[in-house]
């Protein structure tokens, strides 16, 4: 066991809510950071760390996208648990013999327990694991992607975009917080609501924010500035799951994403941008939500639709201007072993 303390390890309630209660996400993560100055004891070092990120999970999907956009594949390896987990942990059932080939573990909880004996909180993705010790370093997903942008610059690819430009950080942070509260977490607050009142409150807040985003994106191609930023990554991972999962499974059904013209065009624009759609596995996404959440889908039946080929249709967003990568360039195609099924 690695003898390092973390700032926020406490007991945690169950994942879902009791009848009559609001859904309240546990946000007390392991707050250690990997930085150039190693302030928390974890230095930036190529090859030392492994990102564990299930493709099914929107929070983990953010880290996969940012790693791709910045070209950190050589510096930080990627492990991908399968889409379906039990009450104990995410598992590596997609790998040969169900074992992560680098960490040599069957369950992500083993990396948490290697750091904290009897870790009391949820075993979440994304998580970054210290390969030499097999111990988890952090699962603080909002900070992980920001640190990829600001702390790992020496390992960025040539032409990597600036996803967190200093001059725009305050606006990016403001927009990202609104998106987190009302959209990213808002769909969960609706889906896991413990009462009609809680559900209706979450539903109303969600669609009010989507209307705000629809208006904002009707006149500009990206959320902040004229290039892709961290804010776009954070919104995209919810939008790409909306019609496939949140509309029906979480009862977020005032509109489909495909019925909101600006948001639908924006989402397709990002999906067709290298680094975004090539990280998306719709089957894994649906398998996760519909099979794991048996409290709201007792049968475990996974829907066949919707037709994912609509994500490849023309979006016309180029007319709004903007340059996705600014003065940079798109990332290379995904590497063997990191490719997702093609949409037909």
* 200 plus 232 within the same structural domain: yes
pLDDT of residue 176: 98
Q: Same domain, yes or no, for 213 and 133? A: no
* Domain closes at, from 116, 132, 155: 155
The reply to whether 151 and 198 lie within a common domain is: no
User: Annotated catalytic, 252?
Assistant: no
In this prediction, residue 26 has a pLDDT band, given cuts at 50, 70 and 90, of confident
Q: Are residues 211 and 132 in the same domain?
A: no
Of 83-97, 155-169, 211-225, 238-252, the one with minimum mean pLDDT is 83-97
What is the rounded distance in angstroms from the CA atom of residue 324 to the CA atom of residue 328? Answer: 9
CB 126 within 8 A of CB 34: no
Identify whether residues 208 and 286 lie together within a single domain.
yes
* pLDDT for position 23: 76
Within 10 angstroms of residue 215's Cβ, the number of other Cβ atoms is: 10
Percent of the chain clearing pLDDT 90 (strictly above): 90
* 203 falls within a domain: yes
Do the domain assignments include residue 78?
Answer: yes
pLDDT > 50? residue 5: no
Are residue 170 and residue 228 in the same domain, yes or no? Answer: yes
Mean pLDDT of the chain: 94
128 plus 176 within the same structural domain: no
Catalytic-role residue among 23, 29, 49, 57:
57
Q: Using CA atoms, how far apart are residues 45 and 66, in angstroms rounded to an integer?
A: 18
29 is catalytic: no
pLDDT of 57 reads 98
CA distance 190 to 203: 6
CA 93 to chain centre: 20
Q: What is the pLDDT of residues 106-148, one digit of tens each?
A: 999 999 999 999 899 999 999 999 999 999 999 999 999 999 9
The domain of 84 spans 49-155
90 is in an annotated binding site: yes
pLDDT (average), residues 152-178: 98
> Same structural domain for residues 149 and 170?
no
pLDDT in tens, 262-278: 999 999 999 999 999 99
Query: β-strands 127-130, 49-52: how paired?
Result: antiparallel
205 in the same domain as 151: no
Mean pLDDT of all residues in 330-338: 97
Whether residue 7 has pLDDT greater than 60: no
- Residues 251 and 305: their CA atoms lie apart, in Å, by 16
* Sign (positive or negative) of CA dihedral 125, 242, 328, 225: negative
**Do 243 and 314 share a domain, yes or no?**
yes
Number of domains in the chain: 2
Mean pLDDT (whole number) for 60-81: 98
Same domain membership, residue 310 and residue 178: yes
Q: Has residue 11 been placed in a domain?
A: no
Q: pLDDT tens, 299-326?
A: 999 999 999 999 999 999 999 999 999 9
How much is the pLDDT for 12? 29
């Amino acid at each position: 066991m690695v003898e390092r303390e973390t700032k926020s390890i406490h007991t945690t309630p169950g994942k879902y809510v009791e009848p009559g209660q609001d859904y309240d996400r546990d946000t007390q993560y392991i707050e250690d950071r990997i930085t150039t100055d190693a302030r928390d004891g974890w230095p930036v070092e190529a090859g030392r760390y492994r990102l564990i990120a299930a493709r099914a999970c929107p929070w983990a999907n953010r880290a996969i996208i940012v790693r791709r956009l910045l070209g950190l594949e050589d510096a930080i390896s990627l492990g991908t648990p399968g889409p379906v987990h039990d009450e104990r942990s995410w598992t590596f059932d997609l790998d040969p013999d169900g074992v992560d080939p680098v960490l040599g573990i069957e369950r992500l909880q083993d990396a948490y327990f290697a750091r904290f004996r009897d870790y009391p909180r949820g075993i979440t993705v994304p998580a970054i694991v210290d390969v030499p010790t097999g111990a988890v370093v952090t699962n603080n997903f909002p900070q992980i992607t920001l640190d990829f942008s600001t702390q790992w610059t020496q390992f960025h690819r040539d032409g990597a975009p600036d996803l967190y430009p200093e001059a725009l950080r305050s606006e990016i942070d403001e927009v990202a917080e609104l998106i987190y509260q009302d959209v990213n977490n808002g769909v969960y607050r609706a889906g896991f609501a413990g009462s009609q009142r809680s559900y209706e409150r979450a539903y109303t807040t969600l669609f009010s924010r989507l209307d705000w985003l629809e208006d904002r994106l009707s006149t500009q191609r990206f959320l902040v500035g004229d290039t892709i930023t961290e804010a776009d990554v954070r919104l995209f991972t919810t939008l790409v799951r909306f019609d496939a999962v949140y509309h029906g499974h979480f009862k977020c059904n005032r509109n489909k994403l495909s019925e909101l013209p600006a948001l639908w065009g924006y989402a397709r624009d990002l999906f067709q941008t290298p680094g975004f759609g090539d990280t998306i596995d719709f089957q894994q996404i649906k398998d996760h939500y519909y099979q794991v959440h048996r409290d709201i889908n007792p049968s475990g039946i996974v829907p066949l639709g919707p037709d994912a080929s609509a994500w490849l249709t023309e979006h016309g967003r180029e007319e709004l201007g903007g340059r996705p990568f600014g003065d940079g360039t798109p990332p290379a195609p995904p590497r063997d072993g990191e490719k997702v099924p093609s949409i037909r």
